Amino acid sequence: MTVDSVNPQWFTSTYSGQGGQCVEVAANLAASHGVVPVRDSKRTGGPVLMVSSDAFAGLVALAQTSAV
């Protein structure tokens, strides 16, 4: 599966601010394809990391507990 073939809807978290050091995710593919593509917001044409939905959920949970 290539990312371009499945119509990712990229977004950047509102928590990222305007610093430019951000990642974008296409969470719309989690339910239908079981993956969450992640890319550098400064290099939208660059490589895309395909993370399993379960791994991405774990990453989000870890970030939430670390932010407290």
pLDDT value at residue 3: 64
Q: Write down the mean pLDDT value for the chain.
A: 86
Place of tokens 């394809």: 33
The residue extents of the domains of the chain are 3-66
Model pLDDT for residues 15-43, shown as the tens digit of each residue = 776 666 788 999 999 999 999 999 998 89
Is pLDDT of 9 > 70?
yes
pLDDT value at residue 21: 74
